[in-house]
Amino acid sequence: MNTESGRTSLLEWDRKRWKCWLHEQEASPAHATTLIQQIHRYGSLEPERMVALPLRLRHRLEHSFRATLPEIAHLRHARDGTCKCTLRLSCGQFIEMVLIPSAARTTLCISSQAGCALGCTFCHTARGGLHRNLSIDEIVAQLWLARHRLWPESAISNVVFMGMGEPLANLDAVLGTLRLFQDDHAYGLGCRRITVSTAGLVPGIERLGHSAEVSLAVSLHAPDDALRTELMPINTRYPIEKLLQACVRYAQRGLRRRRTVTIEYALLAGINDAESHAQMLARRLQGLPVKVNLIPFNPFPGSDYMPSAPEVHQNFFEALNGAGVVTTTRRARGQDIAAACGQLAGESVLREVFETQRSPLMALQGAG
């Protein structure tokens, strides 16, 4: 729980927690629905305006909770409609979120940690290491700001935990966030509209499978352990076979036993994009309840890797599909503003961006 200034954020609690508090206040538990609606559905963080609540309760809310939000530090719009927003947390750390509109849906990509400890060698966020986990209210605030402040006109239909950080390394806060995202009176996002993406923390996959109904994406990026360990050090703890077994269990669990796990595979030129890699990957995934999403790699300054050539990408795609593995290609979005997968920067880079702006307000004004 984030209790900055000794007060809990209004964005922190789910319905069950509000009911407990209302019970302590000797107030009706029915007010929990009103509170959830006011705060999350209607975007009100001013208790005095919540006129559907008794005056006494509004005063208690005013004095016991805080309504502070991360500061909008920087906003950039790409030519393809993608928008990247940098937020400054109360501790001074920066995080990022990205709005990705498309014909079929509008997706918000959010962060779960400031930085990341997992050290994937192709990832920009990894360069700065982990600063800290985000609290529930800091994760929820990203969707709240997107819906009620930044992009109220763009009906956000999907949320993906693919921003900065490893969500399963901050699972308590992510589960608390999911309870609010999925509450019909808050954001009402169904299980197919939320995707949690992981580098492959097996115990986290197991716990997520038991605790929530959401889609799962797993970053694989290599068909064998030697190469995957090179790209993703976490593979030494959770090698591919164990990880795929966890994916199968995840897919077989859940209310409708219908979950297909998405395997993310970023194509890196000369590293993991040979036909032999595609064949090995197809053999490993044969018969499993998974589909593969091929990601064109987005290089960043100082990156050791380059994207595969389009014809290499196409050959890899055809090799997998030809072997019977359902495969799609993710369209690169927001490349001109470094908003694509793996490009969300660490604190040092963000500080540099931030300090080139004369003020956050100017950054916001200049973004349109």
How far apart are CB 5 and ligand SF4 at their closest, in Å?
A: 30
Give whichever of 123 and 320 is closer to ligand SF4, judged by the CB atom. 123
Q: Which amino acid is at 277?
A: H
CA distance 288 to 291: 9
Catalytic residue among 85, 264, 341, 347: 341
When binding is defined by CB under 6 A, the residue of 22, 199, 243, 247 that contacts ligand SF4 is 199
Q: Is 118 in the site for ligand SF4 (CB under 6 A)?
A: yes
Task: Kindly state the DSSP code that residue 135 receives in the 8-state scheme.
Answer: P
Residues from 284 through 343 that contact ligand SF4 (CB under 6 A): 342
Q: Is 235 in the site for ligand SF4 (CB under 6 A)?
A: no
CB 18 within 8 A of CB 25: no
Selection from 350, 307, 351, 367 nearest residue 124 by Cα: 350
Q: How many residues does the chain have?
A: 368
Burial class (CB in 10 A: 0-12, 13-18, 19+), 258: exposed
CA distance 267 to 305: 10
When binding is defined by CB under 6 A, the residue of 128, 165, 176, 223 that contacts ligand SF4 is 165
Give whichever of 165 and 176 is closer to ligand SF4, judged by the CB atom. 165
The residues, any chain, with a CB within 8 Å of residue 302's CB and separated by 6 or more, are 127
Q: Is 345 in the site for ligand SF4 (CB under 6 A)?
A: no
**Is position 62 annotated as part of the catalytic site?**
no
How far apart are CB 167 and ligand SF4 at their closest, in Å?
A: 9
How far apart are CB 288 and ligand SF4 at their closest, in Å?
A: 22
Residue 79's CB is within 10 A of a number of other CB atoms, namely 9
Burial class (CB in 10 A: 0-12, 13-18, 19+), 330: middle
Give whichever of 129 and 322 is closer to ligand SF4, judged by the CB atom. 129
Q: Is 12 in the site for ligand SF4 (CB under 6 A)?
A: no
How far apart are CB 123 and ligand SF4 at their closest, in Å?
A: 3
Selection from 187, 23, 199 nearest residue 108 by Cα: 187
Q: Is 130 in the site for ligand SF4 (CB under 6 A)?
A: no
CA distance 292 to 199: 15
**Which run of H or E residues covers position 88?**
strand 83-88
**Is position 83 annotated as part of the catalytic site?**
no
Task: Report how many residues bind ligand SF4 under the rule CB under 6 A.
Answer: 12
Where does this chain touch ligand SF4 (CB under 6 A) — which range of 114-122, 141-149, 258-266, 303-311?
114-122
Write out the two tokens for 220.
């694989």
Give whichever of 32 and 217 is closer to ligand SF4, judged by the CB atom. 217
Q: Is 126 in the site for ligand SF4 (CB under 6 A)?
A: yes
When binding is defined by CB under 6 A, the residue of 45, 120, 134, 150 that contacts ligand SF4 is 120
CA distance 166 to 259: 21
How far apart are CB 139 and ligand SF4 at their closest, in Å?
A: 15
Catalytic residue among 12, 83, 85, 96: 96
- Report the interhelical angle of 202-211 vs 171-182 (nearest 10°): 30
Active site amino acids: 96, 341
Give the footprint of ligand SF4 on this chain (CB under 6 A).
Answer: 116, 118-120, 123, 125-126, 164-166, 199, 342
